[in-house]
Structure 1
Amino acid sequence: SANALLARELANRSQVTVITVSHYIAHLLRDGDCTVVLLGGQLQKGSESLVGPLTRRSLDWVYFSKAFIGIDGYTPQSGFTSRDMMRADIVHAVLAKGADNIVLSDASKFGQLAPNPLDPDGMIVRVITDAGIDSGLARALRERGLTLDLIG
């Protein structure tokens, strides 16, 4: 995932603290210099993500300045979406913390539709994706008022 690539970039920055619900990301960072905080909750084995009420409760005990959100889909009609209801619930809790909420995703997710909305309140402010995004979808993101950063 794009968030795993970001984690690899942050791994050796001692001044960075990464707070995550992903066992996969925490594992990637285990030998790095950054501080890693892995929140609790019910493990979804397939995605290696933590979800559920304990994860939501854990979020009450942390603050962060930036939140990088993975998505499974985006269309102008639906907005950002997720395949998994439990992970979408955790994203809603993260968005509600009031950080700079940033979608980090490869361009293949744009134009796809998944069943669970991720940002019904418009709390995402920025999207980072690759230059392969469809120009109409890029325009729709900008028209929505989002900052769009294209990489590559």
Structure 2
Amino acid sequence: MLVAERHRKIVDVVNERLSIRVTELSKLFHVTEETIRRDLEKLEKENLLRRSHGGAVSIQDEQAEVSYMEREITNAAEKRAIAIEAVKLIKPNDQIVLDASTTTWYMAKEMPDIPLTVITNSIKVAIELSKKEQIKVISTGGMLLSKSLSYVGPLAERSLNMYHVNKAFISCKGVHIEGGLSDSNEWQALLKRQMMLIADETIVMADSTKFGVRTFAHIADIQQVSCVLTDEKIYANDQKIFEEKGIVMKISK
């Protein structure tokens, strides 16, 4: 395969997968990891992708909101398993905040009907929790993003300022040891940052494909996270790096 053809195919794969690791590209194109790193460096200079820790991420439509239907079928099994682990961290009479991710929707479905107060910017999470009589649901309100069925913007951020919660459960597009947590949409990133500020502790729920990835909008530094829930496909080296930084890692089965 000619170098130019390999470069074109690398960009296609990155845009299709949104993020991919050097090791995977090396196996896919039957070249060394060092060759792939040089390829990614060149393609980043040409503004065709962005390098991340251990791989590359797509820059195509970075700020576009992914539709809820699309997110529901992406890594669904891993997200559901992570959600089940997250629910185990909730105690009766807790006050929690949930973002508008698919994983928190799975949490809402799995959550027992116990005395809780839940604040959320997600319409789907609020509807799911409304079926449970003992759970008090508070919606942030705000500007509606139709694709993700979530509220964002200054009104949503100000409404969060009125509250204090025990735990914040959030997901994100990127979890990077140096770049911290990040999201592809700036509105969502700002709201998730505010959720973390009103919580005693933050639990990040991210499947293994999110590690080593940095996306458009910074949410918070990794040191501000209390615990990370992920799936068993996470690379052992990634897990070790985060644990060495004092981040509690819980692996769903």
- Give the TM-score, by structure 1 length: 0.91
Matching residue within 118, 131, 134 for 1:18? 118
Q: Go from structure 1 to structure 2 and tell me whether the alpha carbon gap of 1:124 and 1:135 turns closer, same or farther (over 3 Å shift).
A: same
In structure 2, give the amino acid aligned to 1:151.
S
1:60 — aligned with what? 161
The answer as to 2:129 corresponding to 1:29 is yes
Tell me, what secondary structure is at the counterpart of 1:132? coil
Do residues 73 (structure 1) and 174 (structure 2) align?
yes
Would you say 1:113 and 2:217 are equivalent positions? Answer: no
Runs of 4 or more, structure 1, over 3 Å off, are none
1:150 aligns with 2:247: no
Identify the residue that residue 108 of structure 2 maps to in structure 1.
Answer: 7
Task: Map Cα deviations across residues 103-137 of structure 1 (whole Å, 9 max, x no partner).
Answer: 01222222333111111373211101111111111
More helix by share: 2
**Contact 2:142/2:155 (CA < 8 Å) preserved in 1?**
yes
Q: Closer, same or farther in 2 for the Cα pair 1:120/1:111, shift >3 Å?
A: closer
Q: Which of these residues, 124, 132, 142, is aligned with residue 41 of structure 1?
A: 142
Of structures 1 and 2, the larger Rg is shown by 2
Question: Matched residue pairs, number?
Answer: 151
1:89 is matched with which residue?
190
Identity of aligned residues (%): 27
2:32 aligned partner: none
Residue segments in structure 1 that go unaligned for 5+ positions in a row:
none
* 1:76-104 deviations in Å (ceiling 9; x for gaps): 23222111101111111111224211101
Higher mean displacement: 125-134 or 29-38? 29-38
User: Alignment partner of 1:122: what SS?
Assistant: helix
2:122 and 2:149 in contact (8 A); partners too:
yes
- The AA in structure 2 aligned to 1:82 is D
In structure 2, distance between residues paired with 1:106 and 1:7: 18
Where 2:234 maps in the other structure, the secondary structure is coil
Retained in 1: the 8 A contact 2:193–2:219?
yes
Task: Indicate the RMSD between aligned Cα atoms, in angstroms.
Answer: 1.6
Identify unmatched segments of 5+ residues in structure 2: 1-101
